[in-house]
Amino acid sequence: MQPPAAGTLRVLHLSDTHLTGDGTLHQGSVDTTAALEGVLARADGVPGVGLVVVSGDVSGDGSPESYAAVVERVGGWAGRHGAALVTVPGNHDLREGFRQVLANGHVLGEGGRPLMHTMEHHPPTVPVAGQSLVAGRRIVTVDTSVPGAGYGEIAEASLERLRAALAGDHAPHGTVVVLHHPPLPAPTALHDALRLRNPGALADVIRGSDVRVVLAGHYHHHFAGSLAGVPVLVAPGVANDTDVTGPYEEESAYVDAGALVVDLAEDGSVWSTPIRVPRPDADPLAFALDADTVTRVIEASTGR
C-alpha cells in the first residue's frame, strides 16, 4: 500500500474483535484470537500507521483476560509500529473489566508510548470517557453502551463531555470521534433493534464543529455515510461479516475478517481503504438465525 502523504494521520480502524478470556469461540464458530492475529499480520503491510482504533465489542465476554489479550496483541502491534492505541466499549464489553485493563480506553499515545492514568474508581453505570491528542488530532471516545442492553444510547453526560471537548483547546487538525453504535441506518431487523437510539443528539453536537470523521463498528460490515455533514465510517468486523443481502428479519454472518485504513489529511480530507482478510480454511457460514430466533434475541437484549 502507498505510504500516507506528508502530514496525514493514518488510522488502522479495527472493530468487533470479540476476544474471549478462555478461548471460547464467537457464536460457537469463530476463533476470534486467530481472526485478530490474521488481520494484524495482514496490516503489517500497511505503512505509516499512527493510530490504531478498536471501536467497541473489544471483548466478547468482558473478562479482564480478554482485555489483556487485546493489549498484548493490538497494543503489541501498535507499539511495534510506533502507533497510538485507542479503544471504546461496545454492547458486549463490560465497563468494569474494560476499565481494569484499558483504563479510559486511551492505552497508547503518540509514537506508541504508554499513557499514564490516575486510578479512578467509577461504578459500571458511569460511561467510559477519554480523549487524547495524536498528530495534532483530538481523539475523543464516546461510550454508547447501555449496561445490560444490546442497543446503544449516548448518555447526556457523555454528550456534555463531547461538547466540552470540542469547545476546548484548539486541535490543529480537527477531531476524530470514536464510538461503537453507528449513527447510521441498520442493515437487518436485529441490528435495527440494537441501533444507536439518539443519533440526532450526536448530530446536534458535531454539526459545525471541527469533527472530521466518526469511526464506528457494531454492524460487522463496512458502511460509509454521514451525520450532520461529517463522514461516518463503520469498520468491518474482525469476528465475522454480517450477511446484508439475506432476509431482513433473519440474521446470518460469514466467516470473514477485515479492517479499514483511514487517512486523515491536514486539510480535513478523509479517505478510507477497506482491507479484507479471507479465511479460506474456515467453514464459510459463521451463524444463521431464523426470524423467530431473531425476535427472541431482540427481546432479550432490548427488554421488549
Q: Which is nearer to Fe ion, 161 or 220 (CB)?
A: 220
- Is residue 192 a contact partner of residue 148, using CB atoms and an 8 Å limit? no
Q: In what order do the strands lie in the sheet with 285-289?
A: 241-242, 251-254, 285-289
Binding of Fe ion at residue 10 (CB under 5 A)? no
Q: Which is nearer to Fe ion, 57 or 143 (CB)?
A: 57
In the complex, least distance from residue 231 CB atom to Fe ion, rounded to whole angstroms: 21
Binding of Fe ion at residue 218 (CB under 5 A)? yes
State which residue has the least CB distance to Fe ion: 218
For 204, half-sphere exposure in the C-beta direction (CA atoms, 13 angstrom radius) is: 8
Dist. CA 2–CA 273, nearest whole Å: 11
Q: Which is nearer to Fe ion, 212 or 218 (CB)?
A: 218
In the complex, least distance from residue 147 CB atom to Fe ion, rounded to whole angstroms: 14
Binding of Fe ion at residue 153 (CB under 5 A)? no
Question: Could you tell me which stretch among 90-98, 122-130, 262-270, 273-281 binds Fe ion (CB under 5 A)?
Answer: 90-98
In the complex, least distance from residue 253 CB atom to Fe ion, rounded to whole angstroms: 12
For residues 88-125, one letter each, b for 16 or more C-beta atoms within 10 angstroms of the residue's C-beta and e for the rest, the string is bbbbbbbbebbbebbbbbbbbbbebeebeeeeeeeebe
Among 87, 91, 132, 252, binds Fe ion (CB under 5 A): 91
Q: Which is nearer to Fe ion, 46 or 298 (CB)?
A: 298
Interface with Fe ion in residues 254-293 (CB under 5 A): none
In the complex, least distance from residue 90 CB atom to Fe ion, rounded to whole angstroms: 4
Interface with Fe ion in residues 122-151 (CB under 5 A): none
CB atoms within 10 A of CB 23: 13
In the complex, least distance from residue 96 CB atom to Fe ion, rounded to whole angstroms: 18
Dist. CA 290–CA 293, nearest whole Å: 5
Dist. CA 121–CA 99, nearest whole Å: 9
Closest-CA residue to 219 (of 201, 193, 199, 198): 193
- Is residue 202 a contact partner of residue 227, using CB atoms and an 8 Å limit? yes
In the complex, least distance from residue 88 CB atom to Fe ion, rounded to whole angstroms: 11
Chain-centre distance for alpha carbon 248: 24
Q: Which is nearer to Fe ion, 108 or 232 (CB)?
A: 232
Mapping DSSP to helix (H, G, I), strand (E, B) and coil, where does residue 52 land? strand
Q: Which is nearer to Fe ion, 49 or 57 (CB)?
A: 57
Binding of Fe ion at residue 251 (CB under 5 A)? no
In the complex, least distance from residue 91 CB atom to Fe ion, rounded to whole angstroms: 5
Q: Which is nearer to Fe ion, 95 or 138 (CB)?
A: 95
* DSSP conformation class of 230: E
Strands 241-242 and 113-114: unpaired
Q: Which is nearer to Fe ion, 173 or 181 (CB)?
A: 181
Binding of Fe ion at residue 90 (CB under 5 A)? yes
Mapping DSSP to helix (H, G, I), strand (E, B) and coil, where does residue 204 land? helix
For residues 49 to 88, the per-residue mask of contacts with Fe ion, x marking binding by CB under 5 A and - elsewhere, is --------x-------------------------------
Residues in touch with Fe ion (CB under 5 A):
57, 90-91, 218
